[in-house]
């Protein structure tokens, strides 16, 4: 059973544009929602994370929006740059389970 659904599978954005990736979860026990960025041949790198008591968190060009009632969260990348081209994974964790449950990933391409 896929507990975190991620869309779109791939995304192409022009340089300077806004990239938006969406995730939805089912398990209400999840209490921490990180986003990871992965470049080819590298491990996932923690990008930004949010807890469900906050509706938005911003770090530089990256913003997470969180809708607890809808069980949805999204990553917005403002002023997207070619260097942002990577695969992005949303994830969720509950303190009791300890394990990260990942979405299926979004391959982002930012055109110069």
Where do contacts with other proteins occur on this chain (CB under 8 A)? 32, 34, 36, 41-46, 49, 89, 93, 95, 97-105
CA dihedral of 104, 82, 14, 6, whole degrees rounded to 10: 10
The DSSP call for residue 84 is G
**Rounded least distance, CB 97 to other proteins, Å:** 8
**Rounded least distance, CB 45 to other proteins, Å:** 7
Residue 56, both tokens = 């938005």
Which residues in 45-72 are b (16+ Cβ under 10 Å) and which e?
A: eebbebebeeeebeeeebbbbbeeeebe
**Rounded least distance, CB 5 to other proteins, Å:** 12
Q: Which is nearer to other proteins, 95 or 112 (CB)?
A: 95
Q: Which is nearer to other proteins, 69 or 99 (CB)?
A: 99
**Rounded least distance, CB 95 to other proteins, Å:** 6
Q: Which is nearer to other proteins, 5 or 71 (CB)?
A: 5
């Amino acid at each position: 059973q896929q507990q975190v659904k991620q869309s779109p599978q791939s995304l192409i954005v022009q340089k300077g544009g806004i990239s938006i990736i969406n995730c939805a979860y089912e398990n209400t026990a999840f209490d921490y929602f990180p986003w990871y960025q992965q470049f080819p041949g590298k491990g996932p790198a923690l990008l930004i994370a949010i807890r469900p008591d906050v509706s938005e968190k911003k770090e530089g060009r990256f913003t997470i929006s969180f809708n607890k009632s809808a069980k949805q969260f999204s990553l917005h990348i403002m002023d997207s740059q070619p260097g942002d081209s990577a695969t992005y994974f949303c994830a969720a964790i509950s303190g009791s389970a300890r394990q990260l449950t990942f979405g299926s990933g979004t391959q982002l391409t930012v055109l110069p």
